[in-house]
Amino acid sequence: MSKSTFTRRSFLQTSLLAGTAGGATLFGPWKHTRVHAAASDKPIRIGLTHDASGQFANSGQAERRGTEMAIAEFNEAGGVLGRRIDAVWMDTETNPQTGTRVAERMITRENVHFLVGAIQSGAANAISQVAQKYGCIYFNTNSSSPTEAGKNCHRVKFVWDGNGENFSKAAARNAIQTFGKKWFLIYNDYVWGQNTNEATKKVALNYGAEVVDEVPIPVGTRDWSSVLLRIQQANPDVVAAAVGGDDFKVMRQQVRDMKLDGKPAWINNQQDWPDIYGLGADAAFGVFGTTWYHYLDLPGVSDFVKRYQERYPTTRINVPGNVTYNGYVAMRELLRVVAEVGSTDNIKIIKALEGRVMKAADRMQHHDAVIDADSHHVQQTIYLAQGNPKPKDDTDYFQILSSSDPDSIRADAGKECKLETYADTPNYDQG
Amino acid sequence: MLLNLIPHLINGLALGLLFALLALGFMLIIGVMEVINLAHGSLFTIGAYVALAVMAPDGGLPYAFMEPYYALPAIPRYLIALVVGPLVAGAVGMGLELCLRRTYGSDPLYGLLLTFGAALVLEELIREIWGSSEYYLPVPQQISGGFIAGNLIYSTYRIYAAVFAAGMIGVLWLFLNKTPYGAVIKAGAHDSEMVRALGYNLTRLRLLVFGFGAALAGIAGVIMAPIWGIRPVVGVDAVIPAFVIIVLGGVGSFWGAVSAGIMVGLVVALTAAFLTDWSLLSMYLLLLAVVTFRSRGLAGKSSVLEA
């Protein structure tokens, strides 16, 4: 019978040592307390912050289909780092307060590794503030206020959609030459609308436009008749609208009712696919920007559409649009980077994302895209489109007029971005 | 300047008539039942969605089964929508009244909470059936598009909707004042116990009035759908102005509701034109201004449903 070496003294010594080490980990500076044991085989949890109610409910669910499709494809291929990927979704209700609450809960109670999803810029900004506080990487997939990768940028936040300034630059010069210099500006009176309008105005004035009037429209406006009468009385050549979500849908319908969709010319900063799907090619009035279209004549597009249709056979939007696309490519890139880095450590992943070049063929766009290292904004191809006069089927609403390479439409807003240093960004790894 | 103002005044009047139509069903239910029906917006939404199903092949009914029906011209389908939308909203309203009965005689908050809960349930049901996508109610060509008046183009449908609303207001007034049924409803609003003592079935009266008020919400939904669009939350856009109008006009007053509706329409239209960022706030400021000096609202002194 061997003599035990495990004495009361050694037990106390070991316990004290272990307690000190554990305490140092758990009760040290807060920014380090969310580092858990790495290289585990537990699932990688991704917090999906997509709207299911409020002004952008429809778009929120469209981007959710994109992010979940990417996750499903990775899981079917064996996951990432040999680990399954779990998605946790909560409705952010197109509401910044809810965005804050959801982000807090996702990080502190659901222990997600990453946060992905946004349509409304106010909500995206709120989520990113919480994410930065903890160091959790956040992908803003579809909110396009120039401030998101400008003055509201964060080290943990990456912005995947083209912003209002990109779209304005793509459209403005062409519109002035084609339609005229007398411009009437209308915009939703919240962060995206205000900043997009500012960018549009700046670009238009640079190209020689005269702004005859500028009208902020409260979010939730259902009756546009008074504004439309005012536009008629001002008789502009161009109306540049930065109006989104349900407000845009109502506005478009009332513009068509009043037969104002021909003259003046309408420059609609961006038209998201879910906002017009089901309404026919006529709904795509005016000239507008987009990042992707399901009839782009590029390799991989038709296969992507087919995979989407197989995965979502009963969804009403039976072809993916720009919102779903942005969600898909953002999630796909995140998971690829996790695989490449071999870890879920936030700083390692941030460094791998900064300056990352994504090949045009891989992204199903015309030009290579790059994640700007200074603003974390994905600089990508912007397409200018209008309603399709000769649709090839009942989903072919857009006629793509041109594609702009990222450098020609780069936003100035990125210059206002001051990212937190790595040292000021808490280390975050849920293990 | 004055010439510039005229189109906005006409626009405000048209909008006001629509607001008044929106508020009348709400007014009727408050007047007779003393229940603030927060599900009024959901009943409005049901009217709009049912009209969509009746009008549009992708509106929710099985197309293969309904194909011969959708081959009908737009006008008869629209007339059917104008009847079926309110009927379904009315039936749902009557179902809601059956649930409300247990709250009669209790704290009014119970009724308020029940109708609020019903609004949430109905919204989710709508989402389950039709999804959260946006729809537009197609209307016959004869009442769609725009027409030119002077240098301005105006929506034909808005003029039609305003005339329809004015007609409905007139018909409702005649019903309440010139028919025995209207007399019973008004009496029920004055003193329901006396009506019961005279031998009328008060339970049935309440059921019918609630159904009638809900049907009016449904009609407003059918009429407003081509302007506001159709989505599950559109009822919220309806119930808030309706509530403001009722308080502004004086609870239970028919002409108070109509005049308050027109006032709200004019104020909203004029602020939307000239002080656009105040347009959503303007109706509340108007309410604040009126109730500060006249807490019963514009015509609140008159008893309920006084014409």
| Main-chain phi, psi angles of A380, to 5 degrees | -145, 175
Distance of alpha carbon A209 from alpha carbon B126, whole angstroms:
46
| Tokens 């999804």 -> residue | B131
The CA-to-CA distance between both ends of chain B, in Å, stands at: 37
A271 and A157 both lie in a single domain: no
State how far Cα A117 lies from the chain centre: 6
The total number of structural domains in chain A stands at 2
Which among A252, A273, A253 has a CA at the least distance from the CA of A315?
A273
Residues 6+ apart with CB under 8 A from B114: B99, B100, B103
Residues 6+ apart with CB under 8 A from A133: A426
Domain extent at residue B23: 18-229
Nearest to B8 among A189, A215, A226 (CB): A226
Contact B11 A259 (CB under 8 A): no
Average pLDDT on B3-14 reads: 87
Contact A230 B154 (CB under 8 A): no
Closest residue of chain B to A231, computed from CA coordinates: B273
Distance of alpha carbon B300 from alpha carbon B307, whole angstroms:
12
Residue A9 identity (one-letter amino acid): R
- A415 in a domain, yes or no? no
CB contact at 8 A, A383 and A193 = no
- B57 in a domain, yes or no? yes
- A431 in a domain, yes or no? no
Q: What is the model's pLDDT at position A4? A: 45
Contact B273 A227 (CB under 8 A): yes
pTM over 0.80: no
Nearest to A218 among B269, B273, B277 (CB): B277
**Chosen from A225, A252, A323 to mutate, greatest number of chain B CBs within 10 A:** A225
- Chain B hits for A274, CB-CB cut-off 8 Å, are 133
A190 and A304 both lie in a single domain: no
A387 and A371 both lie in a single domain: no
pLDDT tens digit sequence for B51-91: 999 998 877 777 777 778 888 899 999 999 999 999 999 99
Distance of alpha carbon A139 from alpha carbon A350, whole angstroms:
11
Q: What is the model's pLDDT at position A237? A: 93
Contact A218 B11 (CB under 8 A): no
A271 and A169 both lie in a single domain: yes
Distances in Å between the Cα of A280 and the Cα atoms of A181, A290, A384, A397 are 30, 17, 18, 6
Residues 6+ apart with CB under 8 A from B196: B202
Q: What is the model's pLDDT at position A23? A: 45
A128 and A274 both lie in a single domain: no
A400 and A279 both lie in a single domain: yes
Distances in Å between the Cα of A277 and the Cα atoms of A281, A296, A320, A323, B223 are 9, 17, 10, 12, 23
Provide the greatest CA pair distance for chain B: 62
Residues 6+ apart with CB under 8 A from A393: none
Distance of alpha carbon A369 from alpha carbon A43, whole angstroms:
30
pLDDT tens digit sequence for B232-264: 888 988 899 999 999 999 887 889 999 999 999
**Chosen from B18, B128, B134 to mutate, greatest number of chain A CBs within 10 A:** B134
Closest residue of chain A to B133, computed from CA coordinates: A58
B207: pLDDT strictly greater than 70 = yes
- B184 in a domain, yes or no? yes
Give the helix ranges, DSSP H, for A277-345: 301-311, 322-341
Phi-psi region of A243 (alpha: psi -120 to 50; beta: other; left: phi over 0): beta
- B239 in a domain, yes or no? no
Which among A6, A87, A9, A4 has a CA at the least distance from the CA of A50?
A87
Distance of alpha carbon A206 from alpha carbon B79, whole angstroms:
53
Contact B273 A230 (CB under 8 A): yes
Distance of alpha carbon B213 from alpha carbon B234, whole angstroms:
18
Which among A320, A251, A403 has a CA at the least distance from the CA of A67?
A320
Q: What CATH number does residue A188 fall under? A: 3.40.50.2300
The pLDDT-based confidence of B197 (bands split at 50, 70, 90) is confident
Contact A223 B231 (CB under 8 A): no
pLDDT, one tens digit for every residue, chain A (431 residues): 344 444 555 555 555 554 444 444 444 444 444 444 444 678 999 999 999 887 788 899 999 999 999 999 999 999 999 999 999 999 999 999 999 999 999 999 999 999 999 999 899 999 999 999 999 999 999 988 889 999 999 999 999 999 888 888 888 877 888 889 999 999 998 888 898 898 889 888 988 899 999 999 988 888 898 999 999 989 999 999 999 877 888 888 888 888 888 788 898 877 788 877 766 666 777 888 899 999 999 999 999 999 999 999 988 788 999 999 999 999 999 999 999 999 999 999 999 999 999 999 999 999 999 999 999 999 999 998 888 888 888 889 888 988 889 988 888 878 899 999 999 999 998 88
A61 and A149 both lie in a single domain: yes
- A127 in a domain, yes or no? yes
Using a CB–CB cutoff of 8 Å, tell me whether A314 touches chain B. no
Looking at the complex, report in whole angstroms how far the Cα of residue B273 sits from the nearest Cα belonging to chain A: 5
Nearest to A259 among B11, B153, B276 (CB): B153
Contact B153 A316 (CB under 8 A): no
The CA-to-CA distance between both ends of chain A, in Å, stands at: 42
Nearest to B229 among A218, A220, A249 (CB): A249
Residues 6+ apart with CB under 8 A from A153: A159, A375, A376, A377, A414, A417, A418, A419
- A374 in a domain, yes or no? yes
Closest residue of chain A to B234, computed from CA coordinates: A222
Looking at the complex, report in whole angstroms how far the Cα of residue A91 sits from the nearest Cα belonging to chain B: 14
Q: DSSP string covering A366-402, please?
A: SS-EEE-TTT-BEE--EEEEEE-SS-SSTT--EEEEE
Nearest to B146 among A218, A249, A259 (CB): A259
Which among A282, A244, A280, A60 has a CA at the least distance from the CA of A167?
A244
Residues 6+ apart with CB under 8 A from A235: A182, A264
Rounded to 10°, the helix A301-311/A322-341 angle is 100
Residues 6+ apart with CB under 8 A from A110: A45, A47, A88
**Two tokens, residue A386:** 């209008």
Domain extent at residue A260: 165-295+383-409
How many CA atoms within 13 Å lie on the side-chain side of A183?
Answer: 27
Q: What is the model's pLDDT at position A15? A: 52
The pLDDT-based confidence of B1 (bands split at 50, 70, 90) is low
A159 and A243 both lie in a single domain: no
- A25 in a domain, yes or no? no
The total number of structural domains in chain B stands at 1
Q: What is the DSSP letter of A427?
A: P
Looking at the complex, report in whole angstroms how far the Cα of residue A59 sits from the nearest Cα belonging to chain B: 9
**Two tokens, residue A306:** 């087919």
Residue A30 identity (one-letter amino acid): W
A151 and A123 both lie in a single domain: yes
A357 strand-pairing partners: A370
Residues 6+ apart with CB under 8 A from A292: A321, A322, A325, A326, A364, A365, A383
Of A380, A399, A426, which one is at a domain's C-terminal end?
A: A380
pLDDT tens digit sequence for B143-192: 988 888 777 778 899 999 999 999 999 999 999 889 988 888 888 777 77
Residues 6+ apart with CB under 8 A from B286: B248, B263, B264, B267
CB burial of A63-74 (b: ≥16 within 10 Å; e: otherwise) equals: bbbbbbbbbebb
A269 and A404 both lie in a single domain: yes
Using a CB–CB cutoff of 8 Å, tell me whether A232 touches chain B. yes
How many other C-beta atoms can be found within 10 angstroms of the C-beta atom of residue B150?
Answer: 9
Distances in Å between the Cα of B207 and the Cα atoms of B110, B184, B218 are 18, 13, 16
A55 and A68 both lie in a single domain: yes
A187 strand-pairing partners: A216, A242
Distance of alpha carbon A187 from alpha carbon A243, whole angstroms:
5
Which among B31, B39, B19 has a CA at the least distance from the CA of B299?
B31
Using a CB–CB cutoff of 8 Å, tell me whether A262 touches chain B. no
Contact B134 A226 (CB under 8 A): no
Q: What is the model's pLDDT at position A28? A: 42
Interface confidence (ipTM) of the complex: 0.77
- A183 in a domain, yes or no? yes
Closest residue of chain A to B227, computed from CA coordinates: A254
CB contact at 8 A, A357 and A368 = yes
Looking at the complex, report in whole angstroms how far the Cα of residue B167 sits from the nearest Cα belonging to chain A: 22
A350 and A264 both lie in a single domain: no
Distance of alpha carbon A35 from alpha carbon A40, whole angstroms:
12
- B12 in a domain, yes or no? no
How many other C-beta atoms can be found within 10 angstroms of the C-beta atom of residue B4?
Answer: 12
Nearest to A216 among B144, B273, B277 (CB): B277
